[in-house]
Structure formats: C-alpha cells, structure tokens
Amino acid sequence: MVTNCRLARTTPDARRDHIIAVAAELFAHEGYGATSMSTIATRLGGSKATLYKYFASKEALFEAVMECQCERVLAPLRDLRGSDGDDLEPLLAEFGVLFLTKIYEPGALDVYRLVHSEGTRFPELAKVFFRSGPDAAIEELRATLARFVDAGRIACPDLLLAAGQYLGMLRGDRHLRFAVGGMPAPDDAEIARHARHAARIFVAGVMPRA
C-alpha cells in the first residue's frame, strides 16, 4: 500500500527518482485513470506546482515510469549487444535468461497488468509501453543478430520479425499464465531450461541452408 511520504530535500535527480517511484506504485495499485497529479502530489506530501516542475503532465510522468521500469529489463540486454562471442546459441540463451528473469519480477508484472487492463481506454499507455519496452528489446536483439548475418553465420532476411518472434518464444504460454495468476513464476533452473530450448530451436531455423 502506498504511504504518504514528503519529498525529501535532496538533489533534483533524487527528487525526480522519488516521484517516479511513488507514481509507479500508485499507477499499479490505483490504475492509470484513477490516479491524478493531485493524488500523486498528496502522496508525495508536496504541491502540484512542485510536481509539475518535474513533469509537465500525467502522461509525461507515466512515460518516465515506463522508461524506468523497462530499463531494468534492457540494461543487461545491452551488455550482450556489445559481446564479441561468436557462438549464437549460448549468446541467445544468456539473453533469454536475462530477459525472462526481469519480466517475471514484480515491477515488470505491475506494468504488464496495467497496460493490459487500461491500454484500451488510454491508448497512449500502450504506445509508451511498447516504445520503452518490447520495441526497445527487439532492437537490442536485432542488432545482435545483424552481427551474425554480416559475418555470414546465419541467414535471416527480416531481423526485426525474427527478433520479435524469439522474444515471443521466450515468453511463451507460461508468462501469460503467470500474469493472470494461473501459475507461479518459474525458478532459475526452469528459466535456464526454457531459454536454452528457445535458443536451440531459433538457431536451427536461421542457420544457412546449403
């Protein structure tokens, strides 16, 4: 439950991070439509005028929340983009483990449920979510795959499509069941097994044909 917490008198960056954290919790618990800038300001213990100094609108604040949440998923994936490994299957398996571990975290689940529950009424939510999250993850993977295409290691005429399909393989049916409360999050061993299996199938499909 969100508690009333006055803005700490620290640096502007720290205040901004604090606003984002409180807003993220409110959006998750109260919903996007029911959460106003006045509500957020009240929970922060400050004024709307102070809040608007940092964010011009609720939409801008929500976008900052999405970027913050999605960055937790994207940061480790960017590390793999710069890898010089020349064996795609273990690289994709590692990518898969990092991706799955992050999307099963509570904060990522809050975002997923929020977008699914309110995205139809507020299309801007879905646009921000896809731009900050899935589309960015697909681009990271596309760039990794492009390196192997350029080296002649794999054949793939549509890298964006392939990258999106690989992420779909990773999420699979289990993530949907988890998101709606149908099953618990997988443990580390199950995540690793799932990632290895997806990588093996994907690589078999993009190997050059004789």
45-62 confidence digits (pLDDT tens): 888 998 999 999 999 999
Complete domains list, the chain, with CATH: 1-56 (1.10.10.60), 66-206 (1.10.357.10)
| Residue 22 CB contacts under 8 Å (≥ 6 apart), including other chains | 2, 5, 40, 43, 44
What residue has token string 């690989």?
Answer: 166
The whole-number pLDDT of residue 5 equals 54
- The answer to whether the CB of 80 falls within 8 A of the CB of 143 is no
The whole-number pLDDT of residue 93 equals 95
pTM score above 0.85: no
The whole-number pLDDT of residue 39 equals 94
Q: How confident is the model at residue 6 (pLDDT cuts 50, 70, 90)?
A: low
Report phi then psi at 29, rounded to 5.
-90, -35
Which of 63-77, 99-113, 142-156, 180-194 bottoms out in mean pLDDT, i.e. has the lowest?
Answer: 63-77
- The answer to whether the CB of 47 falls within 8 A of the CB of 39 is no
More confident call, 127 vs 1: 127
Give the model confidence (pLDDT) of 61-107 as tens digits: 998 998 888 887 787 777 777 677 789 999 999 989 988 998 998 88
More confident call, 132 vs 72: 132
Torsion of CA 51, 127, 118, 174, to 10 degrees: -120
3-state secondary structure of 2: coil
Per residue in 120-159, is it b (16+ CB within 10 Å) or e — as a string?
Answer: eebeebeebbbebbbebbbbbbbbbbebbbeeebbebeeb
- The answer to whether the CB of 145 falls within 8 A of the CB of 154 is yes
Q: How confident is the model at residue 3 (pLDDT cuts 50, 70, 90)?
A: very low
Report phi then psi at 50, rounded to 5.
-65, -40
Question: Which amino acid, 112?
Answer: Y
Mean pLDDT across the chain: 88
Q: Is the pLDDT of residue 2 over 50?
A: no
Q: How confident is the model at residue 11 (pLDDT cuts 50, 70, 90)?
A: confident
Half-sphere exposure of 71 (CA within 13 A, CB side): 6
Average pLDDT over residues 171-177: 92
Give the C-alpha separation, 168 to 123, whole Å.
22
